[in-house]
């Protein structure tokens, strides 16, 4: 009988541990962060197909959205599909693409993270060459880094902020590319602002 009790206690300890770990994982997944797998080529060269990333669901409870943030959000055309793109324009921003160059509030972006030097537009898309659009309140303008291969706000227009799942902050696979995801656009804009203030 003592052996049976020992076995039962051991099994119960394991079940309690599994239940605790499982509950902790569910809480983290639902409220704090979730793993995602990049599918497709729309974010090359920053992310490639089958990269694994962590998406923070709480970042924007502590700070505002920033231009250059990489986010995961629900597709405007199919909420069951999740997209990964980069924030280019915030609510109230004036965005235009002129001759393949992206301008935000009249400033040409130096986009070192894109796959090409030019941003193409789609014939029947939301935005047209040289035509400035103002991003409505409660919405953002997003683009993929692989501009020729990305369906984004150039096609379907601004994205509702409420559709954002979270900010991509870490890549954990492949192992040789693991690390925190830097917001190079925000750093560039901040540097240019400081230089402008000095001069």
DSSP string covering 133-189: EEPPTTEEEEE-SSGGG--SHHHH--EEGGGEEEEEEEEEESGGG-EE---HHHHHH
Residue 85 falls in the annotated catalytic set: yes
Residue ranges of the chain whose pLDDT lies below 70: 1-5, 7-13, 15-31, 186-199
24/60 same-domain check:
no
Dihedrals phi, psi of 26, to nearest 5 degrees: -65, -45
Structurally, how many domains does the chain consist of? 2
Same domain, 6 and 56: no
pLDDT on residue 117: 87
- Residue 6 has a pLDDT of 72
Instruction: Exactly one of 56, 57, 75, 85 is catalytic; name it.
Output: 85
Residue range(s) defining the domain that contains residue 90 = 38-198
Whole-prediction pTM value? 0.83
* Token output for 5: 């009790």
Residue of 42, 56, 150, 153 with catalytic role: 42
Residue 32 has a pLDDT of 84
Q: Are residues 22 and 118 in the same domain?
A: no
CATH of the domain at 94: 2.10.109.10
Residue 182: predicted pLDDT: 85
Q: Catalogue the long-range contacts made by 36-39 (C-beta closer than 8 Å, 24 or more residues apart).
A: 36/72, 36/82, 36/84, 36/168, 38/84
**Is residue 87 located within the same domain as residue 18?**
no
Same domain, 121 and 158: yes
Tell me, yes or no, if 94 is annotated catalytic: no
Note the pLDDT of residue 185.
78
If asked whether residues 69 and 15 sit together in one domain, one would say: no
SS3 93: coil
Say yes or no: 12 and 99 in one domain: no
So what's the pLDDT on residue 33?
A: 85
* Cβ–Cβ under 8 Å, residues 59 and 192: no
- Do 90 and 1 share a structural domain? no
């Amino acid at each position: 009988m003592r052996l049976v009790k020992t076995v039962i206690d051991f099994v119960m300890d394991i079940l309690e541990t599994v239940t605790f770990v499982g509950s902790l994982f569910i809480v983290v997944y639902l409220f704090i962060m979730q793993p995602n797998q990049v599918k497709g080529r729309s974010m090359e060269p920053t992310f490639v197909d089958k990269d694994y990333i962590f998406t923070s669901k709480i970042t924007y409870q502590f700070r505002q959205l920033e231009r250059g943030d990489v986010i995961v959000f629900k597709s405007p055309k199919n909420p069951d599909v999740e997209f990964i793109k980069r924030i280019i324009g915030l609510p109230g921003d004036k965005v235009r693409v002129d001759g393949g160059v992206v301008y935000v509030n009249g400033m040409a972006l130096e986009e070192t993270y894109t796959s090409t030097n030019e941003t193409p537009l789609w014939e029947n898309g939301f935005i047209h060459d040289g035509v400035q659009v103002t991003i409505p309140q409660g919405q953002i303008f997003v683009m993929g880094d692989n501009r020729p291969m990305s369906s984004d706000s150039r096609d379907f227009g601004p994205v509702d902020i409420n559709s954002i799942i979270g900010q991509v902050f870490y890549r954990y696979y492949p192992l040789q590319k693991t690390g925190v995801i830097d917001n190079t656009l925000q750093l560039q804009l901040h540097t240019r602002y400081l230089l402008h203030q000095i001069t």
